[in-house]
Amino acid sequence: METLSLGDTPRKSSFAPICRDDARLLVLGSLPGEASLATARYYAHPQNQFWRLMGAAIGAPLADMDYEARLAALVEAKVALWDVVASATRKGSLDTAIRNVTHNALADLVAGLPNLRLIAFNGQRAASIGTRALGADCPVPTLTLPSSSPAHTQAFEAKKAAWMALRVAL
């Protein structure tokens, strides 16, 4: 899903949000990585721990399901999923390489979710970009989680403990 480039660095775009208007929790990543862009699926890299972490938080075996079933389970659990970056230039998949950011319309999405209790950022880079995009007057509490990316080397059990805090919004 590469579009125009700046020099030799491709401009990459995020996907549409996975969302229903009764969502209580919004989980925001930064920008899909190469594996996700190649398959047009959120968190497609086999070593990304997102589906295991979210599965633990909502009490469903998401990692064992096919992609469409994963999305359906998230929506049923009242979880919305999106990215903070609409498009950016980036070589590779690392968040630290994201440049020339255009934000997704996060404030508009949040305004359309009347039951939203919590916005969770999947990693520090998503939080830094997303906090700016949401603005200082965001009416919903936010939480920064350890990144589910394999590049974030914290042990799975430590990540899982942090991600279990999402249960308060469900």
Residues belonging to the active site: 48
Is there a contact between 45 and 35 (Cβ–Cβ < 8 Å)? yes
CA distances from 4 to 7, 9, 41 (A): 9, 9, 21
* Phi, psi of 25, rounded to the nearest 5 degrees: -130, 130
Nearest alpha carbon to residue 1 among 81, 9, 10: 10
Interatomic CA distance for residues 170 and 166, integer angstroms? 7
Tokens of 165: 């805090």
Beta strands in 57-160 (DSSP E): 79-83, 85-89, 99-103, 118-122, 142-145
